[in-house]
């Protein structure tokens, strides 16, 4: 990702033409120089000659540009103030294509390659002479020169259009998809991913040359300044995406602060180049490249710590970011001239980041899957905790608190049945507390079996139980007595219960207290009358 904006897609059309250079001393004539190739330097590396004004002369071409087969010269778009082209024909005629104040903007094709048509003539084109003013010479003065036919140029543009259109559609789809996910899930890494992809889309739009088509009045240097700006903002967003994508434990302590600081510096470097390039492009480019080294310096410790902490996302991050990291290293080596300029390396940023965007989207889907599992597990745990808080641990029925929360406010008349096991103290004395607990569990099972759908069944405390149901759906209390008599108890002990009932509304706590007093009084009457029977209290009216 670091380095100069994409130079040109010069490798996709025509055949190469070698170029020699000569520094302009201000007193040279194009008509004379174009016929004196011996004065030009063909051996020195161009970037070693430094910034300034230059002449660049092609090798002998010897091809005709005709109306039926027009020729063009294609070359890389680099930082320069202006460029003019002189064309020498076999008959001695020289045709000049003058410089434009916008630089190469009028000649930019897709892929940010400059293309100048060579006027058709009967005579062959012998040599080409460029006059380059204000060359920054960051990577070279004139790079990637190629002679191509009109058909080859059209084919190159179509290929570039297909590649960038596919990438643009993919980027838009990923942004829309992840924004929609963010609206539902609200994870920060989704927003940073969208910012990274949007920055990449903007970078592709400007570095591809499409910006020059949409905005014909923009100076070519300004277009390249935008390349730096978008690349810096994208790099900062990419690092923040990694910062928020990993588990928080990976970035605890100093590493998290360093990652955030480098992300800010990368974005600031893009802004710095955009603002300072017109007056100090060399210094700005050096700062930009140096700060991008920090990206690699953060990624390596991140991978190391993620491996040590057994992060769930390490393998996805390593796969997704492998190509961009390798590209960044190679581009940095090219920026400091340890690697020569290469068409595929120069255009690797968009392609590698496109792959990263796709793989990171899969990584996001994988993380959301894990987060969903964590959420579901948490919800199940919460539900289990809630059930534990609401249920009686011995019988599994509602406890008194949960029963009251669910009971008060039920609409319509309700029937409350209070059941109390008879002589339960003697049961504990006979069977022990473990046996008594088993009797309680069996009775709770009987109540669950006879209770109608929608009824609330609870253990109110000790050996007292309650059933609350709609009045017209209530189970007959005699059925409860009969079912309990028929149920086998531990050691075949005969267990009975007394039941008191009361009907009425239960819309408020006052209603509940009145209903409970009525059922409890009826229960007392059943106990007093000999147990193992039912007594009904008079129906209650709303308080």
Ranges 30-34, 238-242, 434-438: which has the least confidence = 238-242
Mean pLDDT score of the chain: 85
Residue 532: pLDDT band by 50, 70, 90 thresholds? Answer: very high
Residue 184: pLDDT band by 50, 70, 90 thresholds? Answer: confident
For residue 1, pLDDT over 60 is answered with no
Residue 333 has a pLDDT of 62
Chain segment 374-405, per-residue pLDDT in tens: 677 766 766 666 666 788 888 989 999 899 99
Helix axes 348-390, 220-245, angle to 10 degrees: 30
For residue 503, pLDDT over 50 is answered with yes
Residue 190: pLDDT band by 50, 70, 90 thresholds? Answer: confident
Distance between CA 428 and CA 57 in Å, rounded?
A: 111
Q: Respond yes or no: is residue 463 known to be catalytic.
A: yes
Q: Which element (helix H / strand E) includes 385?
A: helix 348-390
Residue 381 has a pLDDT of 65
If one compares 287 and 295, the residue with the highest pLDDT of the two is 287
For residue 336, pLDDT over 70 is answered with no
For residue 321, pLDDT over 70 is answered with no
Torsion angles phi and psi, residue 468, rounded to 5: -120, 125
Share of the chain above pLDDT 90, in %: 45
Region 414-428: mean pLDDT is 92
- Specify the pairing of strand 534-536 against strand 19-23: unpaired
For residue 5, pLDDT over 50 is answered with no
Distance between CA 285 and CA 335 in Å, rounded?
A: 9
The pTM of the full predicted model, rounded to 2 decimals, is: 0.65
Kindly report each contact of residues 162-165 with a partner whose C-beta sits within 8 Å and lies 24 or more positions away, as own/partner.
164/110, 164/204, 164/208, 164/210
Region 203-220: mean pLDDT is 90
* Strand partners of residue 21: 41, 56
For residue 470, pLDDT over 60 is answered with yes
Region 230-240: mean pLDDT is 88
Residue 180 has a pLDDT of 85
Chain segment 154-173, per-residue pLDDT in tens: 998 898 888 888 888 888 88
For residue 6, pLDDT over 60 is answered with no
Residue 330 has a pLDDT of 63
In Å, what is the CA distance from 197 to each residue of 179, 476, 514, 525?
11, 68, 66, 78
Distance between CA 364 and CA 316 in Å, rounded?
A: 9
Q: Which element (helix H / strand E) includes 85?
A: strand 82-89
Contacts of 240 (CB under 8 A, 6+ apart): 192, 195, 259, 260, 263
Region 286-291: mean pLDDT is 79
If one compares 164 and 229, the residue with the highest pLDDT of the two is 229
For residue 319, pLDDT over 80 is answered with no
Name the nearest CA neighbour of 298 among 339, 265, 333: 265
For residue 135, pLDDT over 80 is answered with yes
Residue 291: pLDDT band by 50, 70, 90 thresholds? Answer: confident
If one compares 253 and 513, the residue with the highest pLDDT of the two is 513
Residue 298: pLDDT band by 50, 70, 90 thresholds? Answer: confident
Catalytic residue of the set 115, 152, 356, 463: 463
CA 35 to chain centre: 58
If one compares 186 and 19, the residue with the highest pLDDT of the two is 19
What is the number of residues in the chain?
543
Ranges 7-16, 29-38, 262-271, 497-506: which has the least confidence = 7-16
Residue 427 has a pLDDT of 87
Tokens describing residue 35: 């016929």
Residue found by looking up tokens 């009109």 in the block: 150
Region 341-369: mean pLDDT is 64
Region 232-244: mean pLDDT is 86
Most confident of 76-85, 155-164, 329-338: 76-85
For residue 364, pLDDT over 90 is answered with no
Q: Are 207 and 6 in contact (CB under 8 A)?
A: yes
If one compares 317 and 11, the residue with the highest pLDDT of the two is 317
């Amino acid at each position: 990702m670091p380095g100069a904006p994409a130079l040109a897609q010069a490798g996709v059309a025509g055949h190469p033409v070698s170029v020699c250079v000569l520094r302009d001393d201000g007193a040279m004539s194009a008509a004379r120089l174009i016929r004196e190739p011996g004065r030009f330097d063909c051996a020195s590396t161009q970037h070693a000659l430094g910034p300034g004004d230059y002449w660049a002369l092609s090798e002998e071409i010897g091809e005709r540009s005709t109306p039926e087969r027009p020729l063009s010269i294609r070359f890389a778009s680099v930082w320069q103030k202006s460029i003019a082209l002189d064309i020498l024909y076999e008959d001695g005629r020289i045709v000049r294509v003058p410089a434009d104040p916008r630089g190469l903007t009028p000649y930019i094709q897709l892929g940010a390659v400059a293309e100048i048509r060579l006027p058709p003539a009967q005579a062959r084109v012998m040599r080409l002479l460029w006059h380059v003013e204000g060359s920054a010479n960051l990577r070279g003065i004139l790079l990637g020169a190629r002679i191509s036919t009109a058909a080859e140029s059209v084919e190159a543009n179509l290929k570039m259009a297909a590649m960038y259109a596919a990438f643009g559609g993919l980027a838009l789809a990923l942004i829309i998809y992840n924004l929609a996910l963010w609206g539902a899930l609200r994870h920060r890494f989704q927003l940073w991913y969208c910012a990274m992809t949007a920055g990449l889309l903007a970078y592709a739009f400007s570095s591809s040359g499409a910006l020059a088509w949409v905005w014909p009045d923009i100076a070519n240097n300004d277009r390249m300044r935008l390349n730096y700006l978008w690349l810096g903002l994208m790099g900062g967003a990419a690092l923040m995406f990694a910062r928020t994508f990993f588990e928080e434990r990976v970035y605890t302590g100093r590493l998290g602060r360093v990652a955030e600081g480098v992300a800010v510096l990368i974005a600031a470097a893009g802004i710095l180049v955009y603002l300072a390039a017109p007056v100090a492009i060399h210094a700005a480019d050096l700062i930009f490249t140096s700060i991008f080294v920090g990206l690699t310096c953060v990624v390596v410790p991140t991978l190391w710590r993620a491996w040590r902490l057994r992060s769930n996302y390490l393998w996805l991050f390593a796969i997704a970011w492998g190509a961009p990291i390798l590209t960044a290293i190679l581009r940095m080596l090219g920026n400091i001239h340890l690697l020569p300029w290469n068409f595929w390396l120069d255009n690797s940023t968009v392609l590698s980041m496109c792959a990263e965007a796709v793989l990171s989207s899969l990584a996001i889907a994988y993380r959301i899957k894990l987060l969903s599992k964590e959420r579901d597990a948490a919800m199940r745990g919460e539900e289990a905790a809630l059930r534990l808080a609401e249920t009686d641990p011995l019988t599994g029925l509602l406890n008194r608190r949960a029963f009251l929360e669910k009971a008060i406010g039920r609409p319509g008349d309700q029937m409350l049945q209070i059941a109390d096991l008879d002589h339960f103290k003697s049961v504990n004395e006979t069977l022990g507390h473990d046996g008594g607990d088993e009797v309680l569990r069996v009775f709770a099972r009987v109540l669950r079996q006879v209770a109608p759908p929608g009824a609330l069944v609870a253990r109110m405390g000790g050996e007292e139980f309650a059933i609350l149901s709609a009045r017209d759906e209530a189970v007959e209390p005699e059925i409860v007595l009969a079912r309990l008599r028929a149920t086998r108890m531990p050691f075949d002990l005969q267990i009975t219960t007394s039941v008191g009932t009361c009907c009425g509304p239960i819309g408020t706590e006052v209603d509940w207290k009145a209903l409970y007093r009525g059922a409890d009084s009826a229960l007392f009457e059943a106990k007093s009358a000999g147990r193992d029977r039912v007594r009904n209290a008079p129906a209650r009216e709303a308080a």
